């Protein structure tokens, strides 16, 4: 599938395991994995960061294969789900960083285009999340107040 704002096709990214069954060499039980996820979520990590930690530090290739639930479902059950979805906060952080870059580099035309593309992605995603109910219907993206999404 093609990228959103270019004509290129992306090839990078990690691949999922081929087998849809839990590997036999895995030492962790599903309950232990859920406890690890809740511990990492309480530390303030996002779902993607939790998945990276579980893969790299604990050797868990796929939480969904072992636990039959995703990381987001497990955090939702334990009431540890953040207020805003992870992809939306990542895009907002990116737009804040681009704005900070453009304050110092006024003539960066590629940066200005990147900012408009990023903010159009934000608006499209907010529209979807309002429709599905993950974000309140009266929430609006304000670039001036978006700095609180930075950690």
State mean pLDDT over 124-133. Answer: 95
Residues 6+ apart with CB under 8 A from 13: none
| pLDDT per position as a tens digit, 48-100 | 999 999 999 999 989 999 999 999 999 999 999 888 898 999 999 999 999 99
Asked whether residue 140 falls in the same domain as residue 101, the answer is: yes
| pLDDT per position as a tens digit, 30-49 | 999 999 999 999 999 999 99
Asked whether residue 113 falls in the same domain as residue 70, the answer is: no
Pairwise CA distance, residues 73 & 121, whole Å: 25
Asked whether residue 144 falls in the same domain as residue 93, the answer is: yes
Asked whether residue 71 falls in the same domain as residue 115, the answer is: no
3-state secondary structure 110-148: HHHHHHHHHHHHHHHHHHHHHHHCCCCCCCCCCHHHHHH
3-state secondary structure of 86: helix
Asked whether residue 65 falls in the same domain as residue 100, the answer is: no
pLDDT at 151 over 70: no
How much is the pLDDT for 120? 95
- How many domains, in total, are found in the chain? 2
Domain assignment present for residue 6? The answer is: no
How much is the pLDDT for 91? 93
pLDDT at 124 over 70: yes
Domain assignment present for residue 14? The answer is: no
User: DSSP for 4-69?
Assistant: SSSS-B---SPPPPS-SS--TT----HHHHHHHHHHHHHTT--HHHHHHHHHHHS--S-HHHHHSS
How much is the pLDDT for 2? 67
Asked whether residue 143 falls in the same domain as residue 105, the answer is: yes
Q: What is the CA radius of gyration of the chain?
A: 18
Domain assignment present for residue 58? The answer is: yes
Asked whether residue 90 falls in the same domain as residue 38, the answer is: no
Provide the mean pLDDT of the chain.
90
State mean pLDDT over 2-27. Answer: 80
Range of the domain at 101: 86-149
Contact (CB, 8 A) for 123 and 141: yes
CATH number of the domain to which 144 belongs: 1.10.287.10
3-state secondary structure of 91: helix
The candidate with the shortest Cα–Cα distance to 135, out of 146, 125, 147, 149, is 125
Q: Which of 5-9, 39-43, 139-143 has the highest mean pLDDT?
A: 39-43
Q: Regarding predicted confidence, which is higher, 13 or 103?
A: 103
């Amino acid at each position: 599938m093609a990228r959103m704002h270019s004509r290129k096709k992306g090839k990078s990214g990690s691949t999922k395991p081929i087998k849809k069954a839990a590997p036999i060499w895995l030492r962790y039980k599903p309950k232990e994995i859920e406890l690890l996820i809740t511990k990492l979520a309480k530390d303030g990590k996002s779902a993607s960061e939790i998945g990276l930690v579980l893969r790299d530090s604990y050797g868990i290739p796929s939480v969904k294969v072992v636990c039959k639930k995703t990381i987001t479902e497990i955090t939702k059950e334990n009431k540890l789900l953040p207020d805003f979805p992870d992809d939306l906060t990542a895009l907002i952080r990116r737009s804040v960083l681009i704005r900070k870059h453009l304050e110092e580099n006024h003539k960066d035309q590629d940066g200005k285009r990147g900012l408009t593309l990023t903010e159009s992605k934000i608006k499209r995603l907010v529209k979807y999340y309002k429709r599905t109910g993950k974000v309140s219907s009266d929430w609006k993206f304000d670039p001036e107040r978006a700095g609180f999404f930075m950690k």
